[in-house]
Structure 1
Amino acid sequence: MLAVYAAAPRPDDPLAALRIGSRPEPEVPAGHVAVTVRAASLNMHDLWTLRGVGLSADRFPMILGMDGAGTLDDGSPVVLHSMIRSAGWMGDEALDPGRTCLSGGYQGTFAERVVVPVANALPLPVELTFDEAACLGTAWLTAYRMLFVASGLRPGQTILVQGCSGGVSTALVRLGAAAGFRVVATGRSEAKRALARELGACVAVEPGARLPERVDGVFDSVGRATWPHSVRALVPGGVLVTCGATTGEPDRTELQHIFIKHLRIVGTTMGTRAELADLVRFCVSTGVRPVVGARLPMTDAREAFASMRDGDTRGKTVLVPPS
């Protein structure tokens, strides 16, 4: 079958590890199902996998892709939950120390077929397309958990979303606006700021710019480049929710601001199967949908990865297998 995969870890040149070619058809163990992939979406995690982050050398070659949607062998449409709990774990999957994920412990979704545990294939309602559903399992689920589970904030409050162009940040703007938050966003270019306003942001400014007012919550996936601004933008008692550091670890912790202003710093990533089911229902009931910035055949995966590496994205990038 055709697949997009990492041949070996390449920390300094991730795209040199990228291959597009034939891989063996997956076997289907007991308790698992095979899914014919109709659409899959890119995440930053895929670039980290090409670099070998969090994956031992003996796990390569590894088919990339954490997110996807498709059909079971009986034709039933499904959306995939990419976090896989360890045997016997009964709590929150995100807190499971033995958890794994697609393109980690399991081969990923950038292929014509993927095998997952039965519980990781959720029914896909007719209101959502395969492309839309393929964007939900990582970036949108992370944003959903950040906003509705981790932050403790309420609709009507004001939030700041840093770096509005990628999957998590665009999801945060869309979800926040749909739920009744007042959303402020930052973007490096006028095009990115215009996108934020399109998605529902009340205000969009340059990174680090003075805000019209301090905010109740900040959502930061950027790290070093935005951290000081994120901390200083908060009202006393505010919360900063972080899910990543695409520009690296912050140079300064801003500890004085944190303890003097009684701020909360909360870390989270991805989410549970139940939260994904809630997110799907939220999309159906509100009409909110992911922004698909690019839709490409899997044979053009190199172009898609280069755009993500260079920060030249607008929402989510979807890959589709050959028809």
Structure 2
Amino acid sequence: MKAAVFREHDKDPEKVVKIEDIDIPKIKPNEVLVKVEATSYNYNDLWAIWGRPIKVPMPHISGTDISGIVEEVGEEVTSVRKGDRVVSHGNLSCRICNLCTSGREYDCEKRQVWGFQTGPLWGGYCQYAHLPEVNIVKISNNISFEDAAAISMVGMTSWHMLVDRARIKPGQDVLIMGGTSGVGMVGIQIAKLHNCNVIATAGNKQKMDKCLELGADHVVNHREADWYKKVRGITNKKGVDIVFEHIGKTVFPQAVALLKMGGTLVSTGATTGYDSTIDLRYLFFRGINIVGATQGTRAELEDMLYWTANKKIKPLINAVLPFQNMVKGHVMMMNGDQIGKTITTPQKL
């Protein structure tokens, strides 16, 4: 089969990511082999290629989000069968520890992000991929493979951030940072699904317009020095109940300062840097909450797929690339040249 493999780290994806012929994996009794129809890009693909913040097993196949058709099932598998349309749940955990059995598999001490921390040669940028049965979720016929791959991890993560961690409620003022990113595009729609007043941010006019199309009530340019003042003006200086954050260092202190009394900032990333600061007076005088979120549960993924199937939440797809040219997606993501999710189709060279 064809797979996108890299065997060394480099800042330039085009130098190291190559399409190679490798063997189709042999599955274990509890695993499922999937003919991959679509794989979507995530920022952890770049971290893997760069070799930071952690080294990854080599040779490496990245890719956490796949959708496709079940090709083969192990002898212990009972929940899916050959021919089923499925999507991956990329959070690999032990499923038996106290954290996993209490519904917190994302906190499992043995947790790994499939396609990022796994390997050698175990990820989603390939024509056939294998996963444990518990990490395979069926999708309905009215969700396209492209939409399923695009929504799986970012949708699950966004749902976990807003519903589980931030405890979103109708009527709240919600600030979605980076509204045309993978998580941002879904964050806007989840907040509107909960009848909230949504303020989104984006880095240029095209992206700002797309935020409004997704349902945001207001949008500001977070690349402008006074962006946070504009947000405060929109709220009549009251601030916001929830900040949905994943940009990091360049916006984090201002985002914290925008919270109302008792407000919540939920963070799932830091693409502009990790070493941020906050004014601690906001923390104790306003009684704010700063919480983190990483991925989510299988149940949260299934919630997202339900709303996607019912057309209440729709992924924003930037481009669909043939597999032979899939490395272009890494370059586009690295340069910020995308609005929404980029997809590649491993069966189409």
- Give, in angstroms, the shift of residue 313 of structure 1: 1.0
Residues 71-127 of structure 1, C-alpha deviations (whole Å, 9 max, x = no match): 112211011111111263343210101011221225111110000001111111112
Residues 184-242 of structure 1, C-alpha deviations (whole Å, 9 max, x = no match): 01111111110110100000012124211111000110001111221111111100000
Unaligned segments of structure 1, at least 5 residues = none
Amino acid of the residue matched to residue 89 of structure 2?
A: H
| In structure 2, C-alpha distance between the alignment counterparts of 1:263 and 1:240, rounded to whole Å | 8
| In structure 1, C-alpha distance between the alignment counterparts of 2:146 and 2:20, rounded to whole Å | 22
- Could you say if the C-alpha distance between residues 87 and 159 of structure 1 is closer, same or farther in structure 2, counting changes exceeding 3 Å? closer
1:61 alignment counterpart: 59
| In structure 1, C-alpha distance between the alignment counterparts of 2:53 and 2:130, rounded to whole Å | 21
Pairwise CA RMSD: 1.6
Q: Does 1:305 align with 2:341?
A: no
Amino acid of the residue matched to residue 105 of structure 1?
A: T
| Cα contact 1:166–1:316 (8 A) shared by 2 | yes
Question: Identity across aligned pairs (percent)?
Answer: 29
Residues 35-57 of structure 1, C-alpha deviations (whole Å, 9 max, x = no match): 00011100001111111236546
Residues 228-285 of structure 1, C-alpha deviations (whole Å, 9 max, x = no match): 2211111111000000000002432221222221110010011011111111112223
| Cα contact 2:5–2:19 (8 A) shared by 1 | yes
Q: How does 1:1-323 map to 2 (within 5 A)?
A: 1-10=1-10, 12-53=11-52, 56=55, 59-73=57-71, 74-86=82-94, 88-89=96-97, 90-91=100-101, 92-103=104-115, 104-106=117-119, 107-207=122-222, 208-210=227-229, 211=231, 212-213=234-235, 214-323=239-348
- Could you say if the C-alpha distance between residues 55 and 87 of structure 1 is closer, same or farther in structure 2, counting changes exceeding 3 Å? farther
| Cα contact 2:248–2:276 (8 A) shared by 1 | no
| Cα contact 2:36–2:347 (8 A) shared by 1 | no
| Cα contact 1:135–1:318 (8 A) shared by 2 | yes
| Cα contact 2:13–2:331 (8 A) shared by 1 | no
Unaligned segments of structure 2, at least 5 residues = 72-81
Aligned partner of residue 72 in structure 1, secondary structure: strand
| Cα contact 1:71–1:77 (8 A) shared by 2 | yes
Q: TM-score, normalised by structure 2?
A: 0.88
| In structure 1, C-alpha distance between the alignment counterparts of 2:16 and 2:171, rounded to whole Å | 46
Residues 130-165 of structure 1, C-alpha deviations (whole Å, 9 max, x = no match): 101001222121111101111012022110011222
| Cα contact 1:7–1:19 (8 A) shared by 2 | no
| In structure 2, C-alpha distance between the alignment counterparts of 1:244 and 1:290, rounded to whole Å | 20
| Cα contact 2:17–2:327 (8 A) shared by 1 | yes
| In structure 1, C-alpha distance between the alignment counterparts of 2:219 and 2:247, rounded to whole Å | 16
| In structure 1, C-alpha distance between the alignment counterparts of 2:253 and 2:336, rounded to whole Å | 21
| Cα contact 2:203–2:221 (8 A) shared by 1 | yes
- Give, in angstroms, the shift of residue 15 of structure 1: 4.3
- Could you say if the C-alpha distance between residues 60 and 176 of structure 1 is closer, same or farther in structure 2, counting changes exceeding 3 Å? same
2:77 alignment counterpart: none
Decide which moves more: 286-295 or 14-23: 14-23
| In structure 2, C-alpha distance between the alignment counterparts of 1:56 and 1:188, rounded to whole Å | 30
| In structure 2, C-alpha distance between the alignment counterparts of 1:284 and 1:16, rounded to whole Å | 39
| In structure 2, C-alpha distance between the alignment counterparts of 1:308 and 1:140, rounded to whole Å | 18
- Give, in angstroms, the shift of residue 13 of structure 1: 3.9
Amino acid of the residue matched to residue 317 of structure 2?
A: V
| Cα contact 2:32–2:132 (8 A) shared by 1 | yes
| Cα contact 1:82–1:101 (8 A) shared by 2 | yes
Q: TM-score, normalised by structure 1?
A: 0.95
